[in-house]
């Protein structure tokens, strides 16, 4: 329609006048998505509702503004939740694991999670810890990172990792 960018600018100036950027209320949108979420693992929607501020926070910090990535987070984390609740490990750790999972997932989906040839993911984690205010490496699970990056879910590796990391035995 327009031969050059200058033609478009002239047309826009005369006809359109100004461009308005719509700023959606992502917190309300996230609330709506979670309230309508159809769970497969019993109790998952309740877990999401209890952790809605964590989900909203990691989404805001990601700056992706991509609701498909948010939905991917909710759907993919249901597998994590489902596997976790079948163990005897405290669910108190789950909200922080959810946050870390979201941070890694959003970074991968936006193309900002690439390992360094020589130093692995040390530099990536350093950058993510600057971007995400609640980044805590202790809650970064390599089985989840592997799943996010490669797409290969390994429930056994996941259960072994959370057992080693979070199964606190009563020493009394």
3-state secondary structure the chain: CCCCHHHHHHHHHHHHCCCCCCCCCHHHHHHHHHHCCCCCCCCHHHHHHHCHHHHHHHHHHHCCCCHHHHHHHHHHHHHHHHHHHCCCCCHHHHHHHHHHHHHHHHHHHCCCCCCECCCECHHHHHHHHHHCCCCCHHHCCHHHHHHHHHCCCCHHHHHHHHHHHHCCCCCC
Q: What is the pLDDT along the chain (172 residues), one digit of tens a residue?
A: 667 777 777 766 655 566 677 778 899 999 999 999 999 999 999 999 999 999 999 999 999 889 999 999 999 999 999 999 999 999 999 999 999 999 999 999 988 776 655 555 655 677 788 888 898 888 989 999 999 988 999 999 999 999 999 987 654 4
Q: Residue 161 corresponds to which tokens in the numbers above?
A: 């990792």
């Amino acid at each position: 329609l327009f031969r050059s960018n200058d033609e478009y600018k002239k047309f826009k100036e005369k006809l359109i006048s100004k461009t308005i950027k719509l700023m959606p209320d992502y917190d309300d949108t996230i609330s709506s998505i979670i309230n309508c979420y159809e769970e497969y693992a019993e109790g998952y929607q309740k877990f999401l509702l209890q952790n809605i501020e964590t989900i909203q926070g990691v989404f805001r910090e990601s700056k992706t503004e991509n609701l498909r990535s948010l939905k991917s987070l909710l759907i993919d984390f249901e597998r994590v939740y489902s596997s976790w609740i079948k163990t005897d490990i405290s669910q108190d750790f789950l909200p922080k694991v959810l946050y870390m999972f979201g941070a890694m997932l959003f970074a991968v989906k936006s193309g900002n999670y690439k390992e360094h040839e020589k130093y692995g993911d040390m530099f990536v984690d350093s950058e993510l810890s600057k971007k995400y205010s609640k980044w805590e490496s202790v809650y970064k699970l390599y089985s989840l990172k592997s799943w996010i990056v490669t797409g290969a879910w390994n429930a056994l590796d996941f259960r072994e990792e959370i057992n080693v990391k979070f199964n606190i035995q009563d020493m009394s």
